[in-house]
Structures are given as structure tokens and as C-alpha cells.
């Protein structure tokens, strides 16, 4: 790396030759696995040009600008591979179709986290550990009951993970030493055991916390996770078990398997927003509970975990198959968005959407067909043939069908992101563990910025200032009555 001599260039195929036209100097940048190190560009320096500001730091080396991480690889990973053009998704090399058909969620979780499919004994030990760790502390009931009656379940779940971390001093590098987990990279068995224990706890309690967030809004008692059921069945049991006389309740096997498959499909998707958030947060060596809470917060956003809910709201607004042409016309005029179509990575059908379509039929055979299905089918069939979508490579993604399944199974719309978090916790932990055990150690994720703000200026005393006003330039004026909504209606609005 660095400034070139001509000899370096010849035959050096796995490299870039970069000419800095500001200085005429040439540099060689190595290419490894079809990627270049961004730090190599830091060696490319030039004297400050006439248009450069001090803040551009021209003499300190070139920076790489990539807003929204459109083409920046932030890790080397062995976990999940996606080929967006070919519609390929593999966990640790295994095609998602094979896992959905032949594996189950906890086996796929083992695969994602530890790298290979477990033996029978390895699987049963892992399953036992995860299910054993499902039980929550008794005082968590008070925690959930402290939320307002109409709290969103994602607000509860996000807080619940941070709350959960407060129980385990031994899991916290801020309290027990910053190498608590990274020591595992050198084979420290106690560190690895400690790490795995937190993994069992976080996966085991994912269903319990989600079920508690569900039941508290219904004013129902919480359910201790049952024994002898699969992970998905245990979750359904905790959601739906009603009374001691109902102890033999068993979730419907078709719905249990459908949920298990949905969990497999949602377990990981490489560097999506929430996994990146977990890694960014985890890179400060914070405890995994805080990192998972951060992941929950990221997933809650409408551009990430909210898309399947948006599909249902879109289908309700369309109303019937007859209205599909008018809706598509509005999409093409950019008045509407076709939720459930398009993907940042997939430029053909999301491979998960085919699997989910099949699962949907199996679920509907039990629950009855969702009333929105005909509209969904008409919309799907029209869009995949439409030039607008074909030319932009916009195809159905996983969210197009998943919401219909959740709705048919009776889940409320605002619970959909929770059903995404429960399995995605596995992907987050797989990435977090891989990072903690990195042989090169953990570097804190501290990106750079291009500063375009004000240059140095001197403080102006208040009496000498020209006020800066206007939208986005100063704080908004917000109505503030200081009374309840009802008093507001009678006492304030009536006077307006």
C-alpha cells in the first residue's frame, strides 16, 4: 500500500492502481476477496486545494463516503450468505429451502451460532438449555404491569431486554472486566461457558418476554413456560393457555410447524439494520442484553420490522381485487408504495417468499382463508407482470405473505414485529458471538463523517445576536394546554 513504484504494478493483478489527479501520484490498493480496505485510501494525501475547507482535512488523507452503507462491508462473516441477484439465502452454507423443509428452529439456531449442524446429543443439550432458561424471575410480572395499558409490545420487549440484563452481574463486562467475552477467542473455557449461558438465556426468554408483553395487555396472568413442548409450541402455549383446567392444552401442530418455519426464515439475514445495530452496540463491549435491546429498537422501525404490518394496512385500504388496478396506477404515479415488494439486496424474488406462500396455504387450511387473500393474490399476480415492477426488479419479499399468516393465526397487527424479534435474536447472537470471538480482537465501530457545518466562529453575546428563525432552524412552538385531553376539548378548544 502507499505511493507506487512502476515495478509494483506489473503483474500485480489483485490490486487497484489509483492515480490521484490532484498530485499525479499513483497508489496501489490491494484487493482481497473482491474488496479493498478503506484505510488504504488514508495514505492518499494532497495539499489543501483552493476550494478545500480546513474541515475537509485534505492533508490528512482521503476518506470513504458511503451514506447508508450502500457498498461498505463492515465485517468478515461466516454466518449467512445472500446472492440478491440469484435469490439465494444460505445459513452457514445450507440453502434456506432445505432448512425450512428439514430442520427446525432450534437446530437452525445452533447452526447459525456454532457453525455446524448438531449431533443428536448436541441438539438435545442445546434444546434443554434454551428451554430451561425460558422461566422469568417472579418480579418481571411487576415490570410488565408497570407499563401503560396501551403500551406497544415492542416498547415493552425492548425495555425488557435491558431490564433482563440487570439480573446478571456476571454477564456484564462493565462490571466484571472488559475481556469477559473476548477472552473466549483465546480458548478461555470459563469465558465461553459464560457466553453460552447468556445465549441460552436470551433465546430461552425471548418467547417468555414476548408472551408477557402480549398477555399483560389482555389483563391475563402470565404463564410459566411449559416443559416437553417445542420452542414454537411453548411460545403458543404461553400466549394461549388460560386456566389450570386447561393444562393439557396443546397448540395445533400445523400452526406450531408454520411458526417454527417462519422462525427459521427470520432467524438471520446478514447485515440488516438491526444486526448491524447489535454489532455496533456490542463493539463497545457492552453486555449482550443491552446489545439485544438496541437490536429490538432498530427492528421496531417501519423500514425494517414494520413492513408486514404495512402490507396488511395496504391490503385493507385496497379493499377488494377490483380495486387493484387503481392501486397499482397510484403506485406508478408515486402516490403509493407497494409494500411487500422490492428489497435492498434481492433483485429477484426473495427465496423466503416462496416458502412462506406454501406455509400460508397450510395455515389457511386450518384457520380458514384470510379475507384479504384474494386481494393479495390479485395484487401479486398483477404486479409481477407489470412493466413498472419488472423493469425495476421489484419482486415480492418475505413480508408480502407473512403478515397474512400472522393475521390468520389471530395475532394483532402491532405484535408482528415481536414475532420477528423472537427468531432474529438468534441471528443477533450469532453475529455478536462471532465478533467477540474474533481472533483479531474487537475494534469499536467508530465511523467517520464528512463535516459540512459552520467553520470556526466566535461566540456572540446574547444582546448582540441576530436571531435565526424558521422551520428546522429553531425549536418548534408546540401547543401545551397543561390539562387533560377532555378538559382541553371543553376549556381550550371552545374558546378558539
Ligand X SMILES: CC(C)(COP(=O)(O)OP(=O)(O)OC[C@H]1O[C@@H](n2cnc3c(N)ncnc32)[C@H](O)[C@@H]1OP(=O)(O)O)[C@@H](O)C(=O)NCCC(=O)NCCS
Stretch that binds ligand X, among 27-35, 73-81, 239-247, 390-398 (CB under 6 A): 390-398
- By CB under 6 A, name the one of 204, 225, 342, 351 that touches ligand X: 342
Q: Are 383 and 389 in contact (CB under 8 A)?
A: yes
Long-range contacts of 250-257 (CB under 8 A, 24+ apart): 252/366, 254/362, 254/363, 254/365, 254/366, 255/363, 255/366, 255/367, 255/409, 256/230, 256/232, 257/232, 257/362
Given the residues 269, 350, 399, 431, select the one marked as catalytic.
399
What does the alpha-carbon distance between residue 323 and residue 321 come to, in Å, rounded to a whole number?
5
CB closer to ligand X out of 41 and 346: 346
- By CB under 6 A, name the one of 132, 337, 450, 483 that touches ligand X: 337
User: Is 355 among the residues that bind ligand X (CB under 6 A)?
Assistant: no
Cβ-Cβ contacts under 8 Å for 97 (sequence gap 6 or more): 351, 354, 355
- Which single residue is written with the C-alpha cell 404491569? 145
- 318: cell is 385496497
User: Is 313 among the residues that bind ligand X (CB under 6 A)?
Assistant: no
- By CB under 6 A, name the one of 107, 260, 370, 399 that touches ligand X: 399
Q: Are 420 and 304 in contact (CB under 8 A)?
A: no
CB closer to ligand X out of 152 and 304: 304
CB of 169 to ligand X, least distance (A): 38
Instruction: Give the Cβ contact number of residue 66 at 10 Å.
Output: 11
User: Is 487 among the residues that bind ligand X (CB under 6 A)?
Assistant: no
User: Is 401 among the residues that bind ligand X (CB under 6 A)?
Assistant: no
- By CB under 6 A, name the one of 236, 265, 394, 419 that touches ligand X: 394
Q: Are 25 and 3 in contact (CB under 8 A)?
A: yes
Please tell me the number of Cα atoms within 13 Å of 389 on its side-chain side: 24
Instruction: Give the Cβ contact number of residue 431 at 10 Å.
Output: 26
CB of 416 to ligand X, least distance (A): 12
User: Is 175 among the residues that bind ligand X (CB under 6 A)?
Assistant: no
Q: Judge whether 399 counts as a catalytic residue.
A: yes
- 166: cell is 440487570
CB closer to ligand X out of 334 and 456: 334
Of 259, 216, 211, residue with least CA distance to 237: 211
Given the residues 343, 350, 370, 431, select the one marked as catalytic.
343
CB closer to ligand X out of 273 and 422: 273
Beta bridge pairs of residue 30 = 15
Of 274, 141, 134, 135, residue with least CA distance to 213: 141
- By CB under 6 A, name the one of 110, 341, 401, 428 that touches ligand X: 341
User: Is 372 among the residues that bind ligand X (CB under 6 A)?
Assistant: no
Burial of 399 (0-12, 13-18, 19+ CB in 10 A): buried
User: Is 343 among the residues that bind ligand X (CB under 6 A)?
Assistant: yes
User: Is 305 among the residues that bind ligand X (CB under 6 A)?
Assistant: no
CB closer to ligand X out of 59 and 85: 85
CB of 411 to ligand X, least distance (A): 18
CB closer to ligand X out of 285 and 398: 398
CB of 82 to ligand X, least distance (A): 12
- By CB under 6 A, name the one of 397, 415, 418, 429 that touches ligand X: 397
Distance of CA 119 to the CA centre of its chain: 29
Of 141, 191, 124, 89, residue with least CA distance to 433: 191
User: Is 331 among the residues that bind ligand X (CB under 6 A)?
Assistant: yes
Q: Which residues participate in catalysis according to the annotation? A: 343, 399
Binding interface with ligand X (CB under 6 A): 307, 331, 337-344, 392, 394, 397-399
Amino acid at each position: 500500500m502507499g505511493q507506487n513504484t512502476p515495478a509494483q504494478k506489473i503483474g500485480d493483478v489483485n490490486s487497484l492502481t489509483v492515480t490521484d489527479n490532484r498530485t499525479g501520484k499513483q497508489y496501489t490498493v490491494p484487493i482481497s476477496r473482491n474488496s479493498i480496505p478503506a484505510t488504504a485510501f488514508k495514505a492518499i494525501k494532497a495539499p489543501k486545494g483552493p476550494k478545500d475547507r480546513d474541515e475537509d482535512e485534505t492533508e490528512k488523507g482521503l476518506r470513504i463516503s458511503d451514506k447508508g452503507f450502500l457498498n461498505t462491508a463492515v465485517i468478515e462473516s461466516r454466518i449467512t450468505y445472500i446472492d440478491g441477484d440469484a435469490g439465494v439465502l444460505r445459513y452457514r452454507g445450507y440453502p434456506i429451502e432445505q432448512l425450512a423443509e428439514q430442520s427446525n428452529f432450534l437446530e437452525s439456531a445452533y447452526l447459525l451460532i456454532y457453525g455446524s449442524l448438531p449431533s443428536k446429543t448436541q441438539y438435545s443439550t442445546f434444546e434443554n438449555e434454551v428451554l430451561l432458561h425460558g422461566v422469568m424471575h417472579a418480579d418481571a410480572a411487576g415490570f410488565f404491569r408497570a407499563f401503560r395499558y396501551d403500551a406497544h409490545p415492542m416498547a415493552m420487549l425492548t425495555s425488557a431486554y435491558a431490564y433482563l440484563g440487570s439480573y446478571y452481574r456476571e454477564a456484564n463486562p462493565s462490571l466484571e472486566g472488559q475481556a469477559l467475552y473476548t477472552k473466549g477467542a483465546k480458548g478461555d473455557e470459563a469465558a465461553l461457558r459464560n457466553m453460552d449461558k447468556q445465549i441460552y438465556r436470551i433465546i430461552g426468554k425471548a418467547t417468555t418476554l414476548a408472551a408477557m408483553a402480549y398477555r399483560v395487555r389482555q389483563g391475563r396472568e402470565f404463564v410459566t413456560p411449559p416443559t416437553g413442548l417445542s420452542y414454537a409450541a411453548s411460545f403458543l402455549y404461553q400466549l394461549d393457555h388460560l386456566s389450570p383446567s386447561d393444562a393439557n392444552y396443546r397448540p395445533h401442530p400445523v400452526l406450531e410447524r408454520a411458526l417454527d418455519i417462519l422462525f427459521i426464515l427470520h432467524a438471520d439475514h446478514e447485515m440488516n439494520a438491526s444486526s448491524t445495530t447489535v454489532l455496533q452496540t456490542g463493539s463497545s463491549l457492552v453486555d449482550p442484553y443491552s446489545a439485544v435491546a438496541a437490536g429490538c429498537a432498530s427492528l421496531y422501525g417501519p423500514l425494517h420490522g414494520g413492513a408486514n404490518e404495512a402490507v396488511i394496512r395496504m391490503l385493507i385500504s385496497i379493499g377488494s381485487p377490483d380495486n387493484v388496478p387503481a392501486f397499482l396506477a397510484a403506485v406508478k404515479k408515486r402516490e403509493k408504495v407497494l409494500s411487500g415488494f422490492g428489497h435492498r439486496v434481492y433483485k429477484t424474488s426473495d427465496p423466503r417468499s416462496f416458502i412462506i406462500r406454501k406455509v400460508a396455504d397450510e395455515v389457511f387450511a386450518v384457520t380458514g382463508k384470510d379475507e384479504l387473500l384474494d386481494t393479495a393474490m390479485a395484487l401479486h399476480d398483477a404486479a409481477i407482470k407489470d412493466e413498472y415492477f419488472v423493469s425495476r426488479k421489484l419482486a415480492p419479499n418475505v413480508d408480502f405473505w407473512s403478515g397474512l399468516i400472522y393475521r390468520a393465526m389471530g395475532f394483532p397487527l402491532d405484535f408482528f414485529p415481536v414475532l420477528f424479534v423472537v427468531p432474529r435474536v438468534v441471528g443477533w447472537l450469532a453475529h455478536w458471538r462471532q465478533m467477540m470471538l474474533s481472533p483479531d480482537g474487537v475494534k469499536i465501530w467508530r465511523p467517520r463523517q464528512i463535516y459540512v457545518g459552520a467553520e470556526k466562529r466566535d461566540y456572540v453575546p446574547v444582546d448582540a445576536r441576530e436571531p435565526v428563525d424558521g422551520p428546522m432552524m429553531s425549536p418548534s412552538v408546540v401547543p401545551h394546554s397543561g390539562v387533560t385531553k377532555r378538559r382541553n376539548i371543553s376549556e381550550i378548544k371552545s374558546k378558539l
